[in-house]
Every structure is written in structure tokens, then in C-alpha cells.
Structure 1
């Protein structure tokens, strides 16, 4: 009887191990661009930049956590081959970032528990960075990991800034996990300031799972009532798209004058949400309108101050 119980116990343990396998995707950003990396049932894409490019891999004196040179990023060069100047800046730019992307293989879920990255500033102590993650390629909505951190001037390992996020983010089969680093430079206008990136890792567990397409995609368009409503000064607007398409979400006054555009881009199928901040608007009734493909819908919301 004891042998049977032990055998059953080992079987349960074995099944549990198969159902939840540890996975850690790591980029050692050292000498060349990273090819697509597969670790178990998780695939990590090459690190890419938007309006931000890799200058080189061995420049500068940063050594970082791996005791070797690291990627050196900057806004790029102009047509004459001269570095593009940047700064002084008071906030990050939405379209300038470094992106890391991870996705589980088909038929698997990836439960992410930790994100780590080593960053440093090159040639300045006036470099800042915001870091956030999202599970939609549109990066709407997103969750902040680090808000306006000051990057240390990196020359040795202790001076590199380690950014860590711990939590529980489930990425279903067919889904993606994206991390974006938004660097910005508060110093004087210069073409010789950089961001160093050396090591990034995304850690969690994988398990067999249902795909996003099978489990959570909406079957019809829907524009939800904002919440809270009435509100002061901010509220959230959510909507569902059954298919990918160019989407616009805008806010109007009762005369039809457009107040602001909240979304104006191609979005994937799924449920999306965006925050609307009316701090600078007077109390009153406002309209918000969604259009995507042939679908359009308008609802009212009330701001009470």
C-alpha cells in the first residue's frame, strides 16, 4: 500500500512539473544584435528600437553586470552621418523607445513573475528613463515598471542601474508581453549622450493553455460606458474589437468640437481601455466616439468638479 501511495505521489509531482515549467528568457546585450531566442516554451524576440538605434557594442567604458561592454543606444545619425542632438527634455517621447518582446509557444501560457534589466547613462548624469509593459502590441493599456528614474553614469558594475519588476502577468498562447524603455535626456542639447543596456531577463513559468483566440477575443464590437461616471477629473473608457483594424477614439463637447483624440492607430482584436484626464476642462457633459472599420458608436459622460 505504501509503495502504491509513493508511486502515486511521484506521478502527481511529475505531472505538476510538466504542467508548470520554469522559464527564464535572457538577453545578454553585448556584441551583436540578438537573434530570436527560444527557451523551453517561451520565445524572446530581438531587442528593437523606435526612433532610437544601437550606436555600437563596445564603445565607452561601461562594463556592467557581465563585466563586458554593452549596447550603446542613441537617437541616431542625420544624413551627413552626424549624431542627432537631443535634450533638454522634460518628459519621455511616446514614439522613442527600446522594446523587448516575449511570447509563449503555441499551446502554452507564460506566467511572468519577474523582469530585470541593467541600464546606465553614458557621459552624463542627466539621463532619465521610464519603463512600462503591456500585453497588446498597441501598448494600450500599459503598466508602469519605473517612472522617471535617474540613470547612473555607468562605468563599473556598481554604477549600473538595476530595474526590477515583480508581479504576476499571464500571457496566453498567441499573446505577447512587451517591455518598453523610454529614455530622455534633461541636459543641454548634445549628440554625445547615450543609454547603455546590457542585460535583460524575463522570468516565469509555462503551462499548457488555451490560446487568446479561443478564450478571450470578443465576438462583436462594443463601446462600454466610462467608469466612473460622473467623474472628476479622470475616467476609464474601454471597448472591444472582434478583429484587427484602424481605430479612433475621440472626445467631443456637445457642439461637436473635438476636445482630444485618445486613440488613433491600428489595434489588434481584443478588449482595450484608455484613461481620459479632464483636469483642464470645465464641468459638463461630453461625448466620446469610437470608430473602427464600419463600426461607430457614441456615448455621453459627465464631468462634475
Structure 2
């Protein structure tokens, strides 16, 4: 807040000088907060939807809000983006981390400069004001595990895709799913250790093809990353195994709707990336204004939240199925 007070004082001084020079006819410039969000990677449907939400909420609140989408899911590119935003003197930096630990030093630097720092899909991040989650890790993981169990009858082996082996939320979801399956489908084993390929359709497709070749008993693939479900489904379709190897997980409805209707993607559970984009801006604006966030608060966009340390848990699940996918796709998700 000291930093914002200094900026405001400087702006007011400059405006007063300008007004004096114009004979007092110029209006004082308004202090318009700037909120910038660094995505994992740009140009994919999930983050395109998030960017739309960021812009819509920014316009609704009258703040400058935008997203930066790195060209690849490289933690170093996110570090550079945050460094640039610090240099620009933005008021709020939001990040969906590829590697939470790699970002810690630069996020600390941002906070030391008085910048509000928010993360999403990163509940273990430390140098932040808050991390927010649209659904708890346990709930998201267990819903997918239950769907896999129902679809396969707990028979055969399965594989797990995540966006990266260092992405905190993806691995927390995967952990919850594996734990539930271990307890409730003890005879169903993982075909291999999880794969960090789910931010790339091509990598997920190639990995799924390898899994199908190496594991005749492969019954299902769960993907905790928006591109992995589509990539795995394409591989299953190529091999003519739709309905025999279940594919489920997070995906953008507009990207995966055809595969759902073809019976290649069984379904999944996620949240709205558009709403997550709006939440970045709404929460950032609230904190810039100095407003407090407490356990049980009913927050804009997020609704009622449960606070655990610096993590805000909302409950905004979206079920992806043949019945819902078209409607969600039409919303631009």
C-alpha cells in the first residue's frame, strides 16, 4: 500500500501541475489499477477462455487487466514475464505456475515491491497473497477416479497424465485420484508412472500410442491437463479403441466436444477457465483496495470460500458429458 500511496501522490502532483499550466481546467487523472496474469502457455483454448474472462472482468470493474501467454510451458518464460511486470510497476500479478518453486524468488521480489501476488492451481506457493482454487484437489481427483471405476468396472490398468511433473495442482489432483483407486479398486494398477505431457496434444497422443502398444490390458487414461485428454482420445480413436480404452479428464468443451459425442472421451470434471480469469481480476481488485478476505467470505465470482492458510477454495465444479459439453462450448469454454 505504501507503493500505491507513492504512485498516487506522484500522479496527483503531476495532474495538479498540468491543471495549473492549463489555468486549472484539467481534471485529475484517476488511479486505475493494473492487473496482469501470466498463463502457463498461450494460444490454447483453456487459456484463451481465461483471457476472455480477464478482459471482461477488467472492463466491468474499470481496471486495466490483461494476460501474458508464454510461447511454451517453460517456467523460465514465466519468470521473465513476472520480471517484466515488476519493471512495469503493475498493481497485481497473477500466475498459473508451471513450476511453483522456480517462481518463488521472483514472486518474493514482486511482493517486496508492494505488488499483490495471486496464483491459481498452485496451493503450495509461498510468496503470495493468496492462491485460489475453483474446486478442491481432493474433490476433482476423486470425481475422476469414480468415473474411471464406473466406466471400467475396476478392471485392467490405467495411466495418468499431468501438465508437468512439477505442476502442483495437477499432481495433487492425480494423487487424490490414485489414492481413491488404490482404496476402492485395489486390483486396478497404474500401467506406468504418471506422464508430464498434458499441456501438449501431440505429446499426449504419442504417449498414449506407446501405452496402448505396451499394455494390452490398458483400460483407461486420466488426464489432469487440458490438452492431454484430447491427445489421448485421438490416439484411442486412431487405434479403433473408442469405448474400450476410457479417456477422461480436463479439456476445453469446444475442443473436445466431437470426441465426446463419438464416445472416445468418456467425460470429466473441471471448472470454467473463463470464471477463473474473472476471479483473478475480482480478487486482485479487492486486495488492491485494501479489503480483507476471510474464511467463509462470499467473494465476487468465487462465491463462498473456505480458507486454508493462503489458499481459497471455492466449489465451482463443471461436469463434462454428452449432455453438457455443447452448452459449455457455446459459452466459449
TM-score normalised by the chain length of structure 2? 0.20
TM-score normalised by the chain length of structure 1? 0.21
Larger Rg: 1
Answer 1 or 2: which has greater helix percent.
Answer: 2
